Amino acid sequence: MPNGYYYGFDYTWYLLVLPAFLLALWAQFRVQSTYAKYSGVRSVRGRTAAEVARQILDDHGLGYVQVDRIGGKLTDNYDPRSNIVHLSQEVYDSSSIAAIGVAAHECGHAVQHAEEYGPLKLRSAIIPITNIGSSLSIPLFFIGLLFNFSILMNIGILLFGLVALFQLITLPVEFNASRRALSTIGERGLLTDDETRGAKKVLSAAALTYVAALASSLAQLLRLVLISRRRN
């Protein structure tokens, strides 16, 4: 029986994966509570998030990028394939501080794409491989563990490492988009100073979810490595 497993008790899960899971839960609670707080605070300018997004894009020479609605909650995103900034239903028509911050953030991604921001290009390039890794890494690893095939275990670890790499590259992409958003908001006076501080809190809370995702991936990766070494 591999070290670290005693009568069905997996210490690596409790020492690595569980703390990362709790961090992810806390980050999700933080972003939802912060967003809920500032989604109830309307901007004194009275402009909707869609109107603000349109201005930001036009001011950066991105008139060809569309602003459109998308279903769901907090599903806002920028699609570089279609050049569309998607704003969720509750963001699109809202003039709240939270909605404007979210819209400006997604426009930041559009500006990154137009300027060929390095980390964004790298993240886009590895997405196909990352999708394979996220689907096959764990099954391959545990099949290798079950039948004592070290090669399969190592392939699983390598594929999951690509998932962790994707999460790592995502951090500068998201942080940079938020910095661009807050800078644009300040330069163009889209929000008052107090409102801008509220938008910053919303975007900072959202950034925590990406930090938590990276922590979860690294914890799981380390767990796989430890299990593999103990098995060998």
Contact 183, 105 (CB under 8 A): no
What is the C-alpha to C-alpha distance for residues 206 and 34, in angstroms, rounded to an integer? 9
The single-letter DSSP state of residue 78 is E
How many CA atoms within 13 Å lie on the side-chain side of 14?
A: 7
Catalytic residue positions, numbered: 106
What are the structure tokens assigned to 174, written together?
Answer: 């998201």
What is the C-alpha to C-alpha distance for residues 182 and 73, in angstroms, rounded to an integer? 22
What are the structure tokens assigned to 200, written together?
Answer: 């910053």
What are the structure tokens assigned to 130, written together?
Answer: 């990352």
- Contacts of 39-42 with C-beta under 8 Å, sequence gap 24+, read 39/90, 39/94, 39/96, 39/97, 39/98, 39/99, 40/96, 41/96, 41/97, 41/98, 41/195, 41/198, 42/95, 42/96, 42/97
Residue 193, classified by CB atoms within 10 Å of its CB into exposed (0-12), middle (13-18) or buried (19+), is exposed
Q: What is the CA angle 195-173-136, rounded to 5?
A: 130
What is the C-alpha to C-alpha distance for residues 122 and 186, in angstroms, rounded to an integer? 29
